[in-house]
Amino acid sequence: MENILGKKIELLPCKLKENQIHCEVCGGIGWLSDNGHLKSCPHCSNGAIDCCPECGTPYEVRYVHRCKNPECNKNYGKKQAEEKIKREAKRIANAEKIDIPDPFEKFTMLYSEYYDKNEGYFTDWDEFFDSWTEYIDEYDADHDLPLFERPEYVWGTSCTKISLDADWIIEQATDDLWEGASDNCDYKSLQEALDKWCAEQSGTETYLENYKYAVRIPWELY
């Protein structure tokens, strides 16, 4: 190894990858001079600017790969929709199928990515169908999707409530005590007291999507 202190160093443009161009601001080296000091170029990534693989337009923002070309945006929307459908299909293949007259007797709430209100959770089929109509109308205005199909299923949910763990509380409480202090604590009685207190609380119920259950959408009611 040779000491380069005091020697001139020539910075060369970076080696480009596919769908990249050299930054015009820094000449592709990734650095700019600031009163004799080097600073990284804020306009590129190590001298390179990524470009849209479809039309070749350089992306305007670093690390944000979204082309502003209307046609590319349209294609991007199509790909996103297709990927969503593939993800759903894989999950549904592994889920238990539920097809009963009133699934809301089994699940207080159902969940779907296609329901754009209440973070995807709904309690009535009419709510889902109204949202679906708005979703299709809005989506169809931006994208030409003759291959688009209705989803066959939505997801069941599971309910979780507030809970407290005696083990964790005692471990935290005795952390600064002598090593065997936690062994002398009554875990059982504390857990019973915590469970009783949690059961007396109301309004903590939270519903989460449960991908174990796929609920058939009754499109015949639409």
pLDDT in tens, 91-116: 999 999 999 999 999 999 999 988 88
> Do 147 and 41 lie in a common domain?
no
Q: Is residue 109 part of a domain?
A: yes
- State the pLDDT confidence band at 81, using cuts at 50, 70 and 90: confident
Q: Is residue 217 part of a domain?
A: yes
User: 140 or 23, which is more confident?
Assistant: 23
* Look-up of token digits 């046609």: 71
> Do 20 and 60 lie in a common domain?
yes
Statement: residue 51 has pLDDT above 80: yes
Q: List helix spans (H) across the chain.
A: 70-93, 125-142, 166-173, 187-200
The boundaries of the domain holding residue 55 are 13-68
Q: Is residue 6 part of a domain?
A: no
Statement: residue 89 has pLDDT above 80: yes
Backbone angles phi, psi at 213, to 5 degrees: -125, 120
- Mean pLDDT, rounded, for 146-164: 84
> Do 148 and 213 lie in a common domain?
yes
Q: Is residue 181 part of a domain?
A: no
Q: Is residue 216 part of a domain?
A: yes
Tokens representing residue 41 in the block: 């170029």
> Do 94 and 127 lie in a common domain?
yes
Q: How many domains does the chain have?
A: 2
- Mean pLDDT, rounded, for 122-148: 74
Give the range among 108-112, 140-144, 148-152, 206-210 with minimum mean pLDDT. 140-144
> H/E element holding 125?
helix 125-142
> Do 38 and 125 lie in a common domain?
no
Statement: residue 178 has pLDDT above 80: yes
pLDDT for 138 equals 67
Q: Is residue 77 part of a domain?
A: no
Provide the CA 145 distance to its chain's centre, in angstroms.
24
Q: Is residue 112 part of a domain?
A: yes
> Do 151 and 93 lie in a common domain?
yes
> Do 119 and 56 lie in a common domain?
no
pLDDT in tens, 179-196: 889 999 999 999 999 999
- State the pLDDT confidence band at 147, using cuts at 50, 70 and 90: very low
3-class secondary structure, 179: coil
Q: Is residue 167 part of a domain?
A: no
